[in-house]
Chain A
Amino acid sequence: MNENRKIERLFSVKDILKNSLPVLITVAIIGAVAGFALESFEEVLAANPFIFLLIPPVIGLGGSLGGIIDSHLGTALDFEIVKMKIDDPVIVVNIAGGFLSSITVFALLGIILHFFSLFLGTPSPGLFEVFFTTFITGVLLSVVTIVLAIFSAFIGEYLGETADDFALPIVTTLIDLIGILILFYISSIF
C-alpha cells in the first residue's frame, strides 16, 4: 500500500472504525468469556480476597508484554526493518528480552504485593505462597504471551492490516482469559 495512504488511515475516523470494529467486537466477546471465567471463581475470591490484588497485575503484565512486543514488531514491520522469519535477529531479541524482563518483574511482583498487604486490610497467604504463585504464573503467561504476540503481529501484517489496529487487541484479550485461568489454577496449588 502507498505509504502516505497508510499513514492517512491512522487519522481517518472512518478507516479507524472500519479496521478496528470487527476486531474489537471479537475482543469484547472473548473478554466477556474472561468475565464469565472470573465470575465463576466468585467463591474462591470471597474466601481468598488476596487474589483480588493479583488480578490486575497478573493479567495486565501479560497484556503489557504483548503490547511491547507487538508495538515494536508492528513499527518494525511497517518500516520493513524486520523479516517475517522466526530467526530474524529482531524477533530473537524480542523473545529473549521480553521473556527475561517479564519474569524479572513477576519475581518482584509477589514480594511487593505481600509487603503491601501487611499494611492493608487484605491478608496475605504468606510470602512463599504469593511469590511462587506470581512467579510460576508469570513464567507460563510470558511464554503464551510471546508466542501469541509474534504470531498475531505476523498475521496482522500478512492480512495487510496495520499491526497497530489488528494484533494488539487480540493478544491482550486472549492473555486476559488465559491469565485468569493460569492464576486460579496455580493459586489453587499453593
Chain B
Amino acid sequence: MARIETRFRYFYIDSLEALFVFAVMAVLAGIIFGELRQRFIELPALLALVPPLLNTGGNIIATFSSRLATLLNAGKIETSLSGISSKEVFLNIVAAFIQSLIMAIVLGFAVHFILTLFGRPSLGLLQNTAIAVFALLLLTFSLSSIMALIVILGAKFGLDPDTVAGPFATGIVDLSAIVFLYVAAGLLTG
C-alpha cells in the first residue's frame, strides 16, 4: 500500500510538473493564436488546417521523441553529445522528414476534400497542400533537432525522458505550428 502511495505521489507530481510546463507553453500558444487571429478570421478556411497540422506535427515529433526515449531507456543511445550525433538519432530524423512530407500532402488533400464535401469554402487543393507542406517541413526541420537535444541531454540532468517526450514535444509543436502556418499562409496566399 505504501509502495503504491509513493508511486501515486511520484506519478501525480511528475505528471503535474510535466503538464504545468506544457501549460505554460500552451498558454503562450493561445496568446500567439489570439494575436494572429485576424488572418484566421479573414481566411476561415485556414482554421481547418490548425488542428490537423498541430496534431500531425505533434504526433510526428512526439513519436520521434518517444522512440528516442525508449532507445535511451534501453541503453542504445548515450546521454552525451555523441549520443545526439549517433546513427539511431540521424535515421529517426530522416524518418520524421519523410513522414512530414507524405502527411502534409495527405492532410492538404483531406482538409480540402472534407470542407468541399460539407459545402464549406476551401483554400483550394493546391494552396491547401502547399501551405501544409511548407509549414510541416519547417516545423520538422527545426523541432526534430531541438527535441533530440532536449530528450538526450535532459536525461543527463535527471529529466524523465518519457515525460519530456510527451508534453515538451507537443508543447513546442503547438507553440510554433501556428506561427509556421501563419507564415506559410502569408507567403502563399499573398
Contacts and interface: CB of A to CB of B under 8 A. Distances in A.
Contacts of B103: 24-25, 28
Q: Give the interface SS of chain A, mostly helix, strand, loop or mixed.
A: helix
Contact of A13 (B31, B95, B170): B95
Contact of A109 (B12, B23, B33): B23
Interface hub of B35, B88, B107 (most chain A Cβ within 10 A): B107
Given A31-B55, A173-B59, A52 B74 contact: no
B48 A75 contact: no
B99 A17 contact: yes
Interface stretch (B139-147, B160-168, B182-190): B160-168
A70 B70 CA distance: 13
B84 interface: no
A interface, how many residues as a size bin? 35 or more
A78 B70 contact: yes
A86 interface: no
Contact of A97 (B12, B54, B63, B165): B12
Given A32-B48, A97-B11, A10 B67 contact: yes
A179 B73 CA distance: 32
Given A60-B22, A68-B18, A28 B56 contact: yes
A188 interface: no
Contact of B110 (A29, A60, A70): A29
A106 to B, nearest CB: 9
Interface in B1-34: 4, 7-8, 11-12, 14-16, 18-20, 22-23, 26-27, 29-31, 33-34
Which of A35, A54, A75, A108 has the most chain B CB within a 10 Å cutoff? A35
A101 B162 contact: no
A97 B15 contact: yes
Nearest to A92: B4
Given A52-B37, A54-B30, A56-B33, A168 B59 contact: yes
B162 A57 contact: no
A21 B48 contact: no
Judged by DSSP, the binding face of B is: helix
Interface residues of B, number: 78
A7 B74 contact: yes
Contacts of B71: 7, 10-11
B62 interface: yes
Contact of B106 (A25, A40, A78): A25
A128 interface: no
B31 A116 contact: yes
Interface in A21-80: 21, 24-25, 27-29, 31-40, 42, 45-46, 49-50, 52-57, 59-61, 63-65, 67-68, 70-72, 74-75, 78-79
Contact of B15 (A34, A52, A68): A68
Contacts of B115: 36, 39
Interface in B38-61: 40-41, 44-45, 47-56, 58-60
Contact of B167 (A35, A46, A64): A64
Q: Which of B8, B20, B66, B92 has the most CB of A within 10 A?
A: B66
30 contacts: A10-B70, A10-B92, A16-B95, A17-B98, A21-B99, A28-B52, A28-B107, A31-B107, A31-B110, A32-B48, A32-B113, A32-B114, A36-B48, A42-B41, A52-B34, A56-B29, A60-B170, A64-B19, A68-B163, A71-B165, A96-B8, A97-B15, A104-B19, A112-B27, A122-B35, A168-B59, A168-B62, A169-B63, A176-B54, A180-B51
